[in-house]
Structure 1
Amino acid sequence: MTIQRFETGPRMSQVVVHGNTVYLAGVVAGRAAGKSVTEQTQDILAIIDGHLAKAGTDKSKLLSATIYITDMKTFPEMNAVWDGWVSAGNTPARATVEAKLAAPQYNVEIMVVAAK
């Protein structure tokens, strides 16, 4: 079975396709500094849409999602954006974790796995 990799760098690939499964690396907002959790989540989900399309799938085929936020107090704010984006009736298995992220400007990071 072949493995396809997109946006591959020396440390990681943004998208890996193995068989009919698509794995995305954790996605953070572009130019996150000064953006609210709402804005960062909107940006991240748009990036995820693009990565999924590149791999030949979409959010209706999400299998799982892991969401990292720096402060659980912002959970409702992030969820409001997520709930408006996720495909109704096709919601993935999901976990949300409070965690310190790679750089202080990031408040949200989302990683998903999808079927093709």
Structure 2
Amino acid sequence: MTDIKRIEVGARMSQAVVHGDTVYLAGQVAQRAPGASVADQTRDILAKTDELLAAAGTDKSKLLSATIWLTDIGTFNEMNAVWDAWVSPGNTPARACVEAKLAAPQFTVEIAVVAAR
């Protein structure tokens, strides 16, 4: 039987779950969202993603998939400029990016990833 490790456990969800050699991150939103640009929110999210992946014993070079939600698909290029600078060259994950309403109006970007360990 494979153990399950939960990271930053809350009443509603864990920020990361490790099962075997796979790490699942909850959708991440910017900690400093109000008034922040899409680029700034993306940077904040990716920094938190790095922290959670490290806590789970992995890093962005082992990303398997990513799902990105934008409140305005017109900001796709702005988000991608930050994403492209962050993602590990040659180790890009399978990815989807869609326009969607998010949980609160101050959030303009949400990103969830799955990674190997």
Same-fold status (TM-score > 0.5): yes
1:112 corresponds in structure 2 to 113
1:84 corresponds in structure 2 to 85
How many residues align? The count is: 116
2:68 and 2:114 map into 1 onto residues whose CA distance is 12
CA RMSD of aligned residues (A): 0.3
2:46 and 2:11 map into 1 onto residues whose CA distance is 24
1:46 and 1:31 map into 2 onto residues whose CA distance is 12
Alignment of 1:16 onto 2:17: yes
SS in 2 for 1:103: coil
Cα deviation 1:66-109 (Å, max 9, x = unaligned): 00000010000000000000000000000001000000000000
* Matching of residues 1-116 of structure 1 within 5 Å: 1-116=2-117
Cα deviation 1:37-69 (Å, max 9, x = unaligned): 000000000000000000000000000000000
1:31 and 1:74 map into 2 onto residues whose CA distance is 18
> How many percent of aligned residue pairs carry the same amino acid?
72
Runs of 4+ in 1 over 6 A off after TM superposition: none
- Output the TM-score relative to the length of structure 1: 0.99
- How far apart are residue 14 of structure 1 and its match? 0.2
SS in 1 for 2:17: strand
Unaligned runs of 5+ in 1: none
1:13 and 1:66 map into 2 onto residues whose CA distance is 17
- How far apart are residue 10 of structure 1 and its match? 1.0
Question: What letter matches 2:70 in structure 1?
Answer: I
